[in-house]
A and B are shown apart, each in its own frame.
Chain A
Amino acid sequence: MDTKTKEKIAFIILLIATILVVTPVALIMLLVLINGLPALTPEFIFGSPREGMRAGGIFPAIVGTLYLTLGTAVFSIPLGILAAIYLNEYAARNWLTRTIELAIINLAGVPSIVYGLFGLGLFVTFLNFGASILSGSLTLAIMTLPVIITATREALNSVPRSFREVSFSLGASRWQTVRHVVLPNAIPGILTGTILGLSRAAGETAPILFTVAAFYLPRLPQSVYDQAMALPYHIYVLSTQVPNVSVKVQYGTVLVLVLLIFVLNLAASVLRTRFRRRKTW
């Protein structure tokens, strides 16, 4: 076989693989859009569920998911970024650091239902927060932490070593170097990774199953100790727990969740491209 034929075969195989990957995603999106778009009326988005959730709107679930995402951000972003700075800029390279790093990598791979049960045990029962937005946010935050730490460390590592050396050589302390040189250049990368972590948390069902999610709660939550409805769990309920729900309502709910996550991911992509354009070293 000559080089040209081989090249052609390679091209075709690679192209087919790509098409196979893209097709299911495109089909799912198409299906959700076609079936879900007609449901998207103001009443559906801003109304409360009626008739045993078969009609009305999904506003409480949207608000619940927004609260949970916000709560997750509040707990996981500062903690994750600070821990990443410590691990990357301060910690000595010894067995303890390596063990912690290994633990973080492994935590990222723990199934989300395990986080859910952990949250149930620690926050709901032991700390007595009950099934509440607080418990749910904390559980999601713990699940998101490894993602944020890893993304932050990557962003910190992308700042050239020479910047740190110069800063130290000018008499700056470690913290001054982090504060004035490393962080400003890493922030866009940190934001991107953080938002992606949050968007994953927003779509999770298992961690909120026992820690916060309400089956049916038409009024909006009043405090962090209240239960709340949430979109992922609501989708699960609509498709398995309530008989005779119209396809329109089911797909409409899915579409709202997908759009929410799409907006988050889009924000991350925009940040990343702007970061790349500005990065000139």
Chain B
Amino acid sequence: MKKNKIEVKDLDLFYGDFHALKDVKVGIEEKVITSIIGPSGCGKSTLLRVLNRMNDLVEGIKITGSVKIDGQDVYSPNCDLVALRKQVGMVFQRPNPFPLSIYDNVIYGPRVHGEKDRDRLNALAEESLRSVLLFDELKDHLRDSALTLSLEQQQRLCIARLLAVCPEVILLDEPCSALDPYSTLKIEELLQTLKRDYTILIVTHNMQQAARASDFTFYMLLGEMIEYGETKQVFTSPQDPRTEEYITGRFG
């Protein structure tokens, strides 16, 4: 039994009067892929954004309970937000490279964190691009605009940009929803190799993707955690009838 990287307890979240997350409790192991599934508006993305405090940008939000990463409470007043965001990185639904060169995109993070050494930046860029299997393809085009890349390459680039700040946890918010099935498969393969070094959480609408690509699955409905367990078990013998209804496609 590996130790838990992320420990969420009694988490409640309100947007104004709307109770978006209800008493969520979950422990997530290190270096596994966990998928969060559930119908639209059930709080999947909200839960994901609790973990790197991206919800802070939303006004009128209230959060109670505890969220610990490596035993450190993310919402305690002495949590260093910059350190947290470096530790817990995020990949968004639509590939969103900056309108800069491929190279400048990858080293954006290290640069704002004060890295000035050319050699080290170059090494980081190469290493990050290698991890997402883009380096050999693009090594002669690093000065080209990132917007010339295909959507799949852009999404890989966004993952590389994230890896360059050396995170431990990677949150992916429906990372494949803008991609075709073949590109989706390639990203999933990439996640399998990244699993060796990173703890990965992926929000997805795609049931097959959750079944194929994750070790653990977390099913949410209307802000509540309905079921959490090993993916194989959740998909073959769900404990809750509501999970079964969803994964067999009776609604959602």
Residue A185 is within 8 A (CB to CB) of chain B in the complex:
yes
Dominant secondary structure of chain B at its interface with chain A: helix
Contact-size category for B: 20 to 34
Assuming the A-B contacts A168-B85, A185-B99, are A93 and B59 also in contact, with contact meaning beta carbons closer than 8 angstroms in the complex?
yes
User: Which chain A residue shows the least CB distance to B108?
Assistant: A170
CA distance A172 to B109 in the complex (A): 7
Chain A residues near B158: list those with CB within 8 A.
166
C-alpha spacing A69/B98, complex, angstroms? 36
Name the distance in Å between A184's Cβ and chain B's nearest Cβ: 9
**A280–B94 contact, CB under 8 A?**
no
A181, CB-defined interface residue at 8 Å: yes
Q: Is the CB of B112 within 8 A of A165?
A: no
Residue ID in chain B nearest A181 by CB atoms: B98
B92 at the interface (CB under 8 A from A): yes
Please determine whether B99 and A171 come into contact, CB atoms closer than 8 angstroms.
no
| A interface residues, Cβ below 8 angstroms from B | 92-93, 160, 162-163, 165-173, 176, 180-181, 185, 279-281
With contact pairs A181-B98, A281-B99 given, residues A167 and B145 touching in the complex (Cβ less than 8 Å): no
| B82 CB within 8 Å of chain A | yes
Beta-carbon contact of A163 and B161 below 8 Å:
no
Task: Name the residue of chain B whose CB is nearest to the CB of A281.
Answer: B99
CB–CB A171/B54 < 8 A: no
> Nearest residue in A to B147 (C-beta to C-beta)?
A280
Is B52 a contact partner of A169 (Cβ separation < 8 A)? yes
Contact B108 A167 (CB under 8 A): yes
A162-B94, A280-B99 given as contacts; is B59 within 8 A of A171 (CB)? no
Known interface pairs A162-B94, A168-B57, A281-B99. Does A173 touch B108 (Cβ–Cβ under 8 Å)? Answer: no
Contacts of B81 in A (CB 8 A): 171
Binary per-residue interface labels of chain B (147-178) against chain A in the complex, 1 for a CB within 8 Å, 0 otherwise = 10000000000100110010000000000000
- Whether the pair B59, A170 counts as a contact (CB closer than 8 A) is no
Q: How far is the CA of A165 from the CA of B112 in the complex (A)?
A: 15
In the bound complex, what is the Cα–Cα distance between A168 and B112 (angstroms)? 11
Q: Chain B residues near A92: list those with CB within 8 A.
A: 59
Which chain B residue has the least Cβ–Cβ distance from A175?
B112
Whole-angstrom distance between the Cβ of A275 and the nearest chain B Cβ: 12
Contacts A165-B54, A176-B112, A180-B112 given; does A170 touch B89 at CB 8 Å: yes
- Given the known interface contacts A165-B54, A180-B108, A180-B112, the answer about A171 and B94 at a Cβ–Cβ threshold of 8 Å is no
